[in-house]
Structure 1
Amino acid sequence: MAFLDIHAIQAVPPANINRDENGSPKTAVYGGVRRLRVSSQAWKRAARKALEADSDSIRPSERTKRLPEQIAAALAERSPALADRASEIAQAAVANVFGVKSKAKKEKDTERERLATEYLLFLGNDQRDRLIDALVENETALAEATDSGKDSSKKLTAVFKEMDLRSTVATGHPPAVALFGRMVATDPALNVDAATQVAHALSTHRVDSEFDYYTAVDDVDNESDETGAGMIGTVEFNAATMYRYATVDLHSLVENLGGDIDAACDVAVAFVKAFLLSMPTGKRNTFANNTRPDFSLLSLREDQPVSLAAAFERPVFGEDGHLGRSVQRLVEHQREQDECYGTDPLLTRAVYPAWVAEGLELPESTPLKKALDDVRAEIHRLIGGGDA
């Protein structure tokens, strides 16, 4: 077993990063007090987008209901012989591969709406392109199948079976699918178990929400005799110091990437960087809450993944701020946990600016790039049996 734990303490100014159904910042009760919460789903999406945007070597992916539409458009462009039946073939192909049909047709639906699947499908762009390539390569057989009238559905299924169309998405997973997994309710054989777990981010202290009362002036009416605001309203927000945690099962990551150890090492460290430096986009134009972690702790373990959230079950309190106390609690909790259970991380790296350490007893800080290089080398030695 091999696990890479990622811990972060991050101070966020007034913000509404992740809203509930009422537009309020999400919260949770922990240790008997109300905490700010940012859902794991919100931060996973932010990390996935950052992961794929940060490196040319990370193959992109999409989670979408528009796969039949994308396939139909590509078929119409690349195979004129199939242009007038591209939608039928695309819908049948997606149904054959994933077992999911397009949404039920309604009279008022547009063609685009009728092509959408019932739920989101998650696959790599290159997996989608391989599927399209296979269809184009078999355009003659597909054209003959769709020329058969009422029996076209059965004949298309026979053609797809001969093509082994499902294999185009069953292997060669992109990093995002390997990390975050994929669930296909209609065909569990296409499921991919996630190699990464991401916790809900929680404030280390009690949080009370506040309301910003805002007004907007009508630029046109303001030039006349009109008085008052053109619009008024309120937006709920809060501010907090958060504990964030994620872990990567490195052996599962290797398996999901087809046994490619070098790729797994690269993806693991790329995910660490993406997770630490990403931020969900909720209300960011209103609050510009673009902070980075003030303290990060990376631990490579062979025993089990270990969250340090219990360090903050008793909420942090201090008139001089929560950041320093939160960092000290985190470091002490990890040390005491390992002493208690007789465990010891294979490698630990802390990343923080010098001012954070003022008055605290912290492990030596390592610049993020150096920390990632060290982690990558140790991962390769651990799961690859040798130096990178």
Structure 2
Amino acid sequence: MTRFLQFHVLTPYPPSNPNRDDQGRPKMAHLGGAPRLRLSSQSIKRAIRVSPEFAAGLSGHRGERTKRLGDVILSHLEQQDTPAEKAAKIAEQVAAIFGKLDKKADKAQLATLAFISPDERQLALDLADRLANGEAIDENALKKLVLRHADGAVDIAMFGRMLADAPDYNREAAVQVGHAITTHKAMSEEDWFTAVDDLKTREDDAGAGHIGEHGFGSGVYYLYVCVNVDLLIENLQGDRELAARGLEALAHALATATPKGKQNSHAHHPRAAYLRAELGAQAPRDLTGAFFKAVGGDDYLGSSIERLEDMAKKLTDVYGPACDDLRILNILGSKTVTLKDIAAFAASAANA
């Protein structure tokens, strides 16, 4: 029976703009008829992947999302003193395993981003060496020599990938990440700012050297994340120890990582105020319904925690227990577990 590890996270953000739309303003969504600020699923997954927790705990087990594998192969072959024309041709041939090449690019760059594991990166370089040494390899066999259905790339195992030109090597995401939305009504604001030219004298012009504007907003965000633990282990070739390390890093990142848009302008470094981790074989369910009616009053954080716990209780009363075991971090509670406890609980899911 499939086991699910689910996270429900409430994080208060100060005035900031961590995830912008095409006009530079904070992204928005409407829920229950009220405007909310939003952090996209994509931006959250990116923040998790590049977080210090992933870097420290999963070194050598993180993929690269890039169009530039051909550049890596070309540089590798040049270091082996492969003739330039031959190296360029091989770089194109090997890079094309991951997708169509960009015909407008000067070098062998892909037209779209490909999520490449460390194992596949090394296999691509090995294949390039074989071709450079004159080995004859059937064109139809190239993908099988490089692409993998499963390996040790934890972020690919978690968030999946799609290779349009090699769909047999797509990987189904073991971790579903929702869009984070404010639990209350929230709108973006506009900051009109000026900048002074330090070398301009009053005699030249007393006005500003630059004027501009940018958007920002603040609020308490709810985020829902669901992990199919069995699929994660399968995507990692059955490596439970690596899956446990990945889940531990994920728990830490959910509490501490954030999209970094405009971070130098706003210094937003929030931490989760509430994190509910649930483990069991029961069907997943999110708790967004707690906030279809926007939270009001003057205590958004406290009221959001109350709403979330009340919705969890009501669903349990009707549908039965949502999990076999859970841990709750609540900075407003009189008794709470630590982030270290949550991370250890998440890691245990891989060995349950």
- Same topology, TM > 0.5: yes
Q: 1: distance between equivalents of 2:160 and 2:240?
A: 18
Q: 1: distance between equivalents of 2:351 and 2:321?
A: 21
- 1:323 matched to which residue of 2? 301
| 3-state SS, counterpart of residue 214 of structure 2 | strand
Are 2:259 and 1:280 aligned? yes
Are 2:40 and 1:39 aligned? yes
Q: 1: distance between equivalents of 2:81 and 2:204?
A: 62
What stretches of structure 2 of length at least 5 have no aligned partner?
A: none
| Identical pairs, percent | 33
Choose which of 337, 343, 348 in structure 1 pairs with 2:315. Answer: 337
Choose which of 111, 115, 119 in structure 1 pairs with 2:112. Answer: 119
Structure with greater Cα Rg: 1
In the alignment, is the contact (CA less than 8 A) between 1:128 and 1:169 conserved in 2? no
Q: Which amino acid aligns with 1:372?
A: A
With normalisation by structure 1, the TM-score equals 0.85
- 1:201 matched to which residue of 2? 180
- 1:266 matched to which residue of 2? 245
- 1:357 matched to which residue of 2? 333
Deviation at 1:139, TM superposition (A): 3.2
Give the 3 Å change call, closer, same or farther, for CA 285–262 of structure 1 in structure 2.
same
Q: 2: distance between equivalents of 1:196 and 1:222?
A: 57
Deviation at 1:58, TM superposition (A): 5.3
In the alignment, is the contact (CA less than 8 A) between 1:82 and 1:139 conserved in 2? no
Q: 2: distance between equivalents of 1:305 and 1:87?
A: 49
In the alignment, is the contact (CA less than 8 A) between 2:157 and 2:171 conserved in 1? yes
Q: 2: distance between equivalents of 1:264 and 1:289?
A: 30
Are 2:124 and 1:131 aligned? yes
- 1:377 matched to which residue of 2? 348
Give the 3 Å change call, closer, same or farther, for CA 378–24 of structure 1 in structure 2.
closer
With normalisation by structure 2, the TM-score equals 0.93
Q: 1: distance between equivalents of 2:275 and 2:168?
A: 37
Give the 3 Å change call, closer, same or farther, for CA 165–228 of structure 1 in structure 2.
same
Q: Which amino acid aligns with 1:280?
A: P
In the alignment, is the contact (CA less than 8 A) between 2:162 and 2:171 conserved in 1? yes
Give the 3 Å change call, closer, same or farther, for CA 58–371 of structure 1 in structure 2.
farther
Q: 2: distance between equivalents of 1:378 and 1:161?
A: 40
In the alignment, is the contact (CA less than 8 A) between 1:75 and 1:86 conserved in 2? yes
In the alignment, is the contact (CA less than 8 A) between 2:71 and 2:109 conserved in 1? yes
Q: 1: distance between equivalents of 2:128 and 2:108?
A: 17
Deviation at 1:225, TM superposition (A): 4.0
Would you say how many aligned residue pairs link Structure 1 and Structure 2? 349
Q: 1: distance between equivalents of 2:59 and 2:169?
A: 25
Deviation at 1:91, TM superposition (A): 0.6
In the alignment, is the contact (CA less than 8 A) between 2:73 and 2:128 conserved in 1? no
- 1:245 matched to which residue of 2? 224
Q: Which amino acid aligns with 1:322?
A: Y
| 258-267 or 68-77: bigger deviation | 258-267
Give the 3 Å change call, closer, same or farther, for CA 26–75 of structure 1 in structure 2.
same
Are 2:344 and 1:366 aligned? no
- 1:190 matched to which residue of 2? 169
- 1:67 matched to which residue of 2? 69
Deviation at 1:13, TM superposition (A): 1.0
Q: 2: distance between equivalents of 1:352 and 1:93?
A: 50
Give the 3 Å change call, closer, same or farther, for CA 187–56 of structure 1 in structure 2.
closer
Q: 2: distance between equivalents of 1:223 and 1:74?
A: 56
Q: Which amino acid aligns with 2:333?
A: A
What stretches of structure 1 of length at least 5 have no aligned partner?
A: 146-157, 359-363, 382-388
Give the 3 Å change call, closer, same or farther, for CA 342–305 of structure 1 in structure 2.
same
Are 2:234 and 1:255 aligned? yes
In the alignment, is the contact (CA less than 8 A) between 1:276 and 1:292 conserved in 2? yes
Are 2:54 and 1:52 aligned? yes
| 3-state SS, counterpart of residue 233 of structure 2 | helix
Q: 2: distance between equivalents of 1:268 and 1:349?
A: 14
Instruction: Output the aligned Cα RMSD.
Output: 1.9
Give the 3 Å change call, closer, same or farther, for CA 81–264 of structure 1 in structure 2.
same
More helix by share: 1
